[in-house]
Amino acid sequence: MTTAEFDPAQVAEVIGKADIVTPMTIRAAVRVGLFDALADTAGSAGTADTAGTAGTLDLDRLTTAVGGHRRAVRVAADHLVHEGLLAGGEEGYSLTALGSLLTRDRSSLGLRDLLDVDTVVGRNEIALVDFDHTLRTGRPASEARSGATLWQELDDADADADVSSFDWEDPGFAAELILDSPVFATASSVLDLGGNTGSLALALLRRWPHLHASVLDFPVFTDRARARAAEAGLAERLTATPGSFFDPLPTGHDVTLLSAILADWDDDDAVAILRRAAEASDRVVVAEVHLTARGRLASETSVAVRLEASMTRPDRTSADVEALLVRAGLAVETAVTDTPDRSLFVARPLGGAA
Ligand SMILES: C[S@@+](CC[C@H](N)C(=O)[O-])C[C@H]1O[C@@H](n2cnc3c(N)ncnc32)[C@H](O)[C@@H]1O
């Protein structure tokens, strides 16, 4: 078969779909601060109306601003012009409306975290280069190289990493199910397993003024949770405990909470975590997030691939979670299973694992 027998348009279409050049150029530009350098120029030279679009930097100034290699910066910037993220050329590059979505001051959009491979979200995204690992094993692509979870990897790689992008004011995913749960009205303390930087624990402390909380997670997160509690004036009521939920847990809490934990683990690991939780207190609250492949920014199939590449068990239903609780020797007392994004189980250890 010769190339003449192929439809060049189809070949170009396949190459376009598989092209990694533009995604990687955008990520590299975010990472070296190229969009920010242009935004800073716009901010200092432009008016309020034009800030973010009017500033220009010629190639020499842009190269200096990003601390880059002149030729490589030109090649990348010219491609970003071709793709509509920048305008101009060597004599003066500037941000377009699209490029300005990637600047520091638009980070609340979440795009930067996704595209900056230094953030956890960005690392998770770039792990898709190892999606074949997921295809073979059903396990997260991020584990392909190190064998560790993304969270563990973050902790191992850089104990003083900036994890402040997890400092959510609003814990999200129908978290009010947890915050309003009557179980906390009578509990005096809660142990939040995998409590990350303390977003949920701090929200619980604000919601229930009598409550004390402990956050257990990797040190990179518990350090941050401790600092946040101090900033919020809640240091007296929040303890941050570095550790693993596969090891024996601190005792003396009325409730052990697992929020958005189990989807990262297969059934055996999930049951092991739940058994630890059952040893630690008289009540176990499991508030699992159920992500579905819907979304406005990408096709359902694309979202489904991303979930599959990110978690070990993205597909558990509330009935599946309940089955794990039973396997771990927990008796369900109350269950909320009619909220799309989250289920909530309050369970009591039976006093002997099944
Ligand atoms: C998906 S996040 C959930 C964070 C938080 N509970 C929430 O509801 O948003 C999973 C958390 O589990 C933590 N984690 C993972 N493995 C852990 C382990 N072996 N021991 C303790 N925490 C762990 C991660 O560091 C991360 O903070």
Q: Do residues 219 and 227 touch, judged by C-beta distance below 8 A?
A: no
Domain count of the fold of the chain: 3
Structure tokens at 131: 């999606």
Q: What is the CATH number of the domain that holds 195?
A: 3.40.50.150
Distance 253 CA to ligand 1 centre (A): 19
Confidence of residue 2 (pLDDT cuts 50, 70, 90): low
User: Is 296 within a domain?
Assistant: no
Q: Structural domain of residue 31, as residue ranges? A: 3-106
Domain contains 227: yes
Site to probe by mutation for ligand 1, drawn from 158, 163, 218 as the one with most ligand atoms within 8 Å of Cβ, is 218
Q: Is residue 112 part of a domain?
A: no
Q: How far is the CA of 260 from the centre of ligand 1 (A)?
A: 8
- Give the whole-angstrom CA distance, residue 37 versus residue 73: 13
CA distance 294 to 309: 16
Residue of 261, 265, 288, 344 best suited for mutating to test ligand 1, as the one with most atoms within 8 Å of CB:
261
Does a structural domain hold residue 300? Answer: no
Nearest CA owner, ligand 1 atom 18: 244
Are residues 333 and 238 both part of a single domain? yes
pLDDT digits (tens, 9 = 90+) for 59-90: 999 999 999 999 999 999 999 999 999 999 99
- Does residue 46 surpass a pLDDT of 50? no
Evaluated on CA atoms 273, 323, 286, 283, the torsion sign reads negative
Distances (CA, A) of 84 to 26, 46, 95, 190: 11, 21, 9, 50
> Greatest CA separation found in the chain?
77
Question: What whole-number distance in Å separates Cα of residue 115 and Cα of residue 310?
Answer: 16
At 298 the pLDDT is 84
Q: Let me know whether 200 and 258 are in one domain.
A: yes
Model pTM?
0.84
Say whether both 93 and 193 belong to one domain.
no
Which ligand 1 atom minimizes the distance to the CA of 196? 27
More confident residue, 351 or 114: 114
Q: What is the DSSP string of 265-305?
A: S-HHHHHHHHHHHHHH-SEEEEEEE---S--SSS-HHHHHH
Q: Quick check: is 10 in a domain?
A: yes
Helix, strand, or coil here: 12? helix
CA of 193 to the centre of ligand 1 (A): 7
